[in-house]
Chain A
Amino acid sequence: NAGVTQTPKFQVLKTGQSMTLQCAQDMNHEYMSWYRQDPGMGLRLIHYSVGAGITDQGEVPNGYNVSRSTTEDFPLRLLSAAPSQTSVYFCASSYSIGHNGYTFGSGTRLTVV
């Protein structure tokens, strides 16, 4: 039982490049979310999913895409990286967010130059 696994842990991108942050969980959790964390801004919700095939926008979705083709995986795609997307990204999952909290991954530190 690995929990929530995020890859890569660190990444440097050039402006305009695209990439996918991977998130996988092995706990059969229905709910999954992506957050970014910036100094002074706290955790902000990018996109979330309440089950396979269902995704929705959070507080700061612009510049990011997600898909949820399986229960286990919830990748986050940066379409054209910008310096404003420099941040730490966290993926989280929960069996039932009304009864249990989120289990977070260890994060991906992304720098866009």
Chain B
Amino acid sequence: SQKIEQNSEALNIQEGKTATLTCNYTNYSPAYLQWYRQDPGRGPVFLLLIRENEKEKRKERLKVTFDTTLKQSLFHITASQPADSATYLCARGDDKIIFGKGTRLHILP
């Protein structure tokens, strides 16, 4: 079956360091991947979309990579802050969007 997996359920990172989250996909070659942020009790908020022909995309302190050989996307938050603490979701898509289970990121002051 086509799977999208986020390997870490939770990740603790010291404030100021770079947080790196991983998303892997199997049995499928998505045309694009999306990353979302979700805070407790709220709906997800779209952050970035990267297409299969794009190696890297940036938005302020966020960077996403897409490696079709490794079947993997990495999501980086540089100069992390406690306010970055949230659950981050990876999603694969074509005509429908399927989400991974998410990684809870804790930025420790």
**A residues adjacent to B (C-beta < 8 A):** 33, 35, 40-45, 48, 50, 56, 58-59, 90, 92, 97-107
- How many of chain B's residues touch chain A, expressed as a range? 20 to 34
Tell me the bound Cα distance from A58 to B102 in angstroms: 19
Q: Are B99 and A41 in contact (CB under 8 A)?
A: no
Contact mask B38-51 → A, CB, 8 Å, 1/0? Answer: 00001111111101
B97 within 8 A of A: yes
**B residues adjacent to A (C-beta < 8 A):** 31-32, 34, 36, 42-49, 51, 89, 93-102
Q: Which residues of B contact A33 (CB under 8 A)?
A: 96-97
The 9 tightest CB contacts between A and B, nearest first, are A101-B46, A104-B43, A42-B101, A43-B99, A48-B96, A101-B34, A104-B44, A90-B43, A42-B99
Q: Are B49 and A102 in contact (CB under 8 A)?
A: no
Q: Are B89 and A42 in contact (CB under 8 A)?
A: yes
